[in-house]
Chain A
Amino acid sequence: MDCHSVQEQLSLYIEGDIPYEEKLRIDNHLKSCRICNESLASMRKTIQLVNNLEDIEPPDWLTQQIMGRVKAEAKPKKGFWKTIFYPLHIKVPIEAAAVVIIAITSVYIFKTMQPETQFAPVPPAEVADTLKIQPHERATQKDKESIQKHITVDTVAKEQGRFSPPLPHQYRAGAPVETVRDEADTGKPEPRAGDLYTEHSAEADSASGVAEYREGQEPSGGSAGEGLPKRGESSSLQMKALPEQENASVLLTVYAEDTGRAGEEIMNAVRQFRGKILGRQTAAGRDMIYAEIDCVNLHEFIEKTKLYGQINEQRPVPEKCEGSIEMRIEISGKS
């Protein structure tokens, strides 16, 4: 065994971490080799020197420092708001999100507000259109009604679209349309000086079925026309016709065998749908019911009416309406 291989194994030899046979061979070699003995001694001394290195005391503050940092790590989890708002990398997204939300909200609010802000500068094309069409429609429809001597139901349309505007020369640009409509709806408009449109609507209402019925007169297109001059507030013939057109939303004729009973049933139906009976008129074998019903229930009500007799819609029942709608229902003997 040569010195080189022995010296390579001295480290393990000292630690005793070597097979027994190997140890014997090294022992044998060491007996006769001075160099290797010196190497062994110096190796032992080296290890001993290193082993004897004394531990160095860490600074006193080390534990405190470590625990301070560790507790700082642990703490933020407890402070909810701090966790969210304190660190910059979280704060920025929150701010960005806030800005986006505010922007969206503003746009939304602006959009929802728009119709109102555009309200004042009126005469909308829609009104102008209606103005052109109205006279015709009115005439034909009115003629028909009077000729047939069927019901004349006038209902106040709550929808803007169905509302007939005043004649062009009477219409005042810039007049608040909303107000006019509201007053027409209530049926109790307060005539305002200078507001021709409103006045006419008011007259129209009172001139139409409801008012007449209360007076015990037979409601008809003609009577509506008569009402106006009495009050001396309108001079235009065309104006007389207006109200009927605009008010009549539901004109129904129900042909029933037993008119009396059908009348009762329909009255019940109106109440059932939380409608309001405005009046009832029986004359010359005809039964007229004036009622107001919530638009929500309108179609259901009409379906129900069909149970009592054959129905003739004098005017197509509006698909859509808002609020409540007035009806004039005539119950007629079988046609």
Chain B
Amino acid sequence: MKEKPDPSDEDLELVALCRKGDVDAFEALVAKYQKRMFNIAFRMTGNNEDASEIVQDAFVAVYRNIKGFQERAGFSTWLCTIVLNLSRNRLKQIASGRTREAYSLNDPLPSVQGTCNRDIASDNPSVLDTLEKREVQQKVQGCIQSMDGDYRELIILRDVQGFSYREISDMLTIPEGTVKSGLSRARAALRDCLKKVLGDV
């Protein structure tokens, strides 16, 4: 599990500078958060180009609206909310553009380096060990993408990015209890998917 984001004083100082028109301060925020935001967008869309555009749009939107940013929520939480919203919109666009095909074990998996054929897991558990680490990761990503939107967001925010329940509750504007119960079901669903993809978990 990754480090929790710290909505530190440093962020707020940089935000204050940005409000005065300090572009360098904004660049510092970009440098600090762009990788994390890019990864969230990538896990959401599974696509490098989409993720790049989403992150760009998100930062530009943040810059435009930085004067309206309320410090009650952390800067990273705010930024994440924007990235999530943009990702959802992008997914909606994609879905309306082309009908999403049902997840099939034989589908080529989308990946950073292009597509690759899915290996069907055999009953032999040792096969898992022989798989390339990257291939496993691609399959996990495939499963994450195949999930319902809400489940996918919960898995990405909690298990991939390691946000706290509290932060996730802020981002998705749902109660913490709902986050916990949703996450349980999301994990179960993911486990089922991985079982199919990897054969054994």
B137 in contact with A54 (CB, 8 Å): yes
Q: Does A12 contact B (CB under 8 A)?
A: yes
Select the stretch in B4-12, B29-37, B77-85, B100-108 that faces chain A: B29-37
Count of inter-chain pairs, beta carbons less than 8 A: 105
0/1 string, A22-62, CB within 8 A of B gives 1:
00000000000000000000110111011111111111001
Least CB separation from A72: chain B residue: B60
A7 to B190, CA, bound (A): 14
B52 in contact with A59 (CB, 8 Å): yes
A293 to chain B, nearest CB (A): 68
- For window 77-113 of A, CB contacts with B under 8 Å fall at none
Contacts of A125 in B (CB 8 A): none
A304 to B168, CA, bound (A): 94
Q: Does A223 contact B (CB under 8 A)?
A: no
A93 to B97, CA, bound (A): 38
- For window 39-80 of B, CB contacts with A under 8 Å fall at 39, 42-43, 48, 51-52, 55-56, 59-60, 63-64
Given contacts A46-B201, A51-B159, A73-B60, whether A58 and B34 have CB atoms under 8 Å apart is yes
Specify which of B56, B60, B63, B180 is in contact with A62 (CB 8 Å cutoff): B56
B160 in contact with A49 (CB, 8 Å): no
A55 to B35, CA, bound (A): 8
A12 in contact with B184 (CB, 8 Å): yes
Least CB separation from B165: chain A residue: A17
Select the stretch in A63-71, A126-134, A180-188, A270-278 that faces chain B: A63-71
Contacts of B155 in A (CB 8 A): 50
Contacts of B163 in A (CB 8 A): none
Least CB separation from A13: chain B residue: B184
A9 to B35, CA, bound (A): 33
Contacts of B86 in A (CB 8 A): none
A14 to chain B, nearest CB (A): 9
Q: Does A10 contact B (CB under 8 A)?
A: yes
A46 in contact with B60 (CB, 8 Å): no
Given contacts A12-B184, A69-B60, whether A46 and B190 have CB atoms under 8 Å apart is yes
Q: Does B91 contact A (CB under 8 A)?
A: no
Residue among A9, A42, A51, A70 facing the most chain B CB atoms (10 A cut-off): A70
Beyond A53-B140, A58-B55, A62-B34, 20 extra complex contacts between A and B, CB < 8 Å: A9-B184, A11-B187, A11-B188, A12-B184, A42-B191, A42-B201, A43-B191, A45-B191, A45-B194, A49-B201, A56-B112, A58-B51, A59-B48, A59-B52, A63-B27, A67-B26, A70-B30, A70-B59, A70-B63, A73-B63
24 contacts between A and B (CB under 8 A): A7-B188, A11-B184, A11-B188, A17-B165, A45-B194, A46-B187, A46-B190, A46-B201, A47-B159, A47-B187, A50-B155, A50-B190, A51-B162, A52-B137, A56-B42, A58-B35, A58-B38, A62-B56, A63-B34, A66-B30, A67-B23, A70-B26, A70-B30, A70-B60
Q: B residues engaging A (CB < 8 A)?
A: 1-2, 21, 23, 26-27, 30-31, 34-35, 38-39, 42-43, 48, 51-52, 55-56, 59-60, 63-64, 112, 136-137, 140-141, 144, 155, 159-160, 162, 165, 180, 183-184, 187-188, 190-191, 194-195, 201
Q: A residues engaging B (CB < 8 A)?
A: 7-12, 17, 42-43, 45-47, 49-59, 62-63, 65-67, 69-71, 73-74
